[in-house]
């Protein structure tokens, strides 16, 4: 080595040492961590364990279904609202039941007990096959039915009455080809005339059934005519509420429609027994 400023080069030919990094094993946490920021819940564990945990902790207003990818999806059940139940069941039932209730009340008051039955003797004219008698009804009374009986053998003749006016009746008999007028009755003079061309003995008996109309009778007859329409309307509405309730997520309305639909035959049977 000289002193005149020459630089000495030193070379080291030793191999570099390897760097070793040591780390402790990571312990995987398998517990479910709820995220409180409206995130889903991570479910861990086996399939049997997961299902048992869900069944134990499942809320009453939520049901779990299997999704397309095998995951469990929570679906909220629609709540049962009593207001919807009374709408779906109460409206059809009221439309159906109110007219029947009015008719049952009228039956209890005896509005349909205004029919009267009268037997009128018909005497044969001398040397004739004609029979005559006298019968009159009061105001607002109308003939509903009549029949004629042979008093000798107590057989009814094949005749019937046809009221063509409020207080006028034709007595008809079938002659093989059609109905033939064989008698008549007029309330103005009260005369009953009957002649079939056959001698039935000295006397026949005419049975006249008539009814009296008043204000209450007309009202209940109108309700009776409307009852058929309201029964059909109530039945249709119960089916409509049933379909709308279950399809629109309103189980209360749907079950109300089912209740009304099931109650119709029961109420009809009870009403028939009362009004019979």
Percent of the chain clearing pLDDT 70 (strictly above): 71
- In a domain, residue 40? The reply is no
- In a domain, residue 35? The reply is no
- In a domain, residue 127? The reply is yes
pLDDT of residue 211 exceeding 70, the answer is yes
Average pLDDT score over the chain: 78
CB 184 within 8 A of CB 168: yes
Residues 223, 175, single domain; the answer is no
- In a domain, residue 12? The reply is no
Residues 153, 170, single domain; the answer is yes
Percent of the chain clearing pLDDT 90 (strictly above): 33
- In a domain, residue 64? The reply is yes
Residues 125, 176, single domain; the answer is yes
Q: What does pTM read for this prediction?
A: 0.46
Residues 145, 206, single domain; the answer is yes
Q: What total of structural domains would you count in the chain? A: 3
Residues 223, 200, single domain; the answer is no
Residues 206, 253, single domain; the answer is no
Which of 212, 227, 254 marks a domain boundary?
A: 212
Residue 63: pLDDT band (50, 70, 90) is: low
Residues 179, 239, single domain; the answer is no
Quote the domain boundaries for residue 196.
115-212
Which of 212, 245, 262 marks a domain boundary?
A: 212
- In a domain, residue 25? The reply is no
Residues 136, 201, single domain; the answer is yes
Answer with the residue of higher pLDDT: 263 or 15.
263
Residues 207, 220, single domain; the answer is no
- In a domain, residue 257? The reply is yes
pLDDT of residue 134 exceeding 70, the answer is yes
Strand partners of residue 218: none
- In a domain, residue 36? The reply is no
pLDDT of residue 2 exceeding 50, the answer is no
Residues 157, 240, single domain; the answer is no
CB 191 within 8 A of CB 209: no
Residues 106, 241, single domain; the answer is yes
Residues 173, 248, single domain; the answer is no
Which of 212, 245, 261 marks a domain boundary?
A: 212
């Amino acid at each position: 080595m000289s002193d005149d400023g020459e630089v000495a080069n030193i070379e080291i030919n030793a191999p570099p040492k390897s760097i070793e990094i040591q780390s402790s094993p990571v312990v995987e946490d398998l517990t479910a961590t709820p995220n409180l920021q409206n995130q889903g819940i991570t479910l861990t564990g086996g399939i049997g364990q997961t299902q048992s945990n869900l069944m134990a902790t499942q809320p009453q207003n939520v049901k779990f279904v299997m999704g397309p990818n095998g995951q469990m999806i929570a679906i909220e059940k629609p709540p049962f609202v009593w207001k919807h139940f009374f709408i779906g069941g109460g409206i059809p039932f009221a439309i159906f039941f109110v007219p029947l209730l009015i008719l049952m009340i009228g039956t209890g008051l005896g509005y349909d007990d205004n029919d009267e039955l009268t037997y009128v003797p018909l005497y044969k004219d001398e040397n004739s096959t004609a029979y005559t008698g006298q019968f009159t009804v009061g105001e607002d009374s109308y003939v509903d039915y009549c029949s004629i009986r042979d008093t000798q053998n107590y057989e009814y003749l094949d005749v019937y009455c046809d009221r063509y006016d409020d207080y006028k009746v034709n007595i008809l008999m079938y002659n093989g080809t059609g109905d033939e007028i064989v008698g008549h009755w007029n309330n103005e003079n009260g005369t009953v005339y009957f002649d079939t061309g056959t001698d039935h003995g000295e006397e026949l008996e005419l049975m006249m059934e008539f009814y009296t109309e008043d204000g209450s009778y007309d009202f209940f007859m109108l309700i009776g005519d409307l009852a058929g329409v309201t029964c059909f309307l109530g039945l249709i509405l119960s089916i409509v509420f049933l379909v709308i309730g279950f399809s629109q997520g309103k189980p209360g309305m749907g079950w109300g429609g089912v209740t009304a639909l099931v109650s119709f035959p029961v109420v009809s049977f009870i009403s028939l027994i009362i009004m019979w």
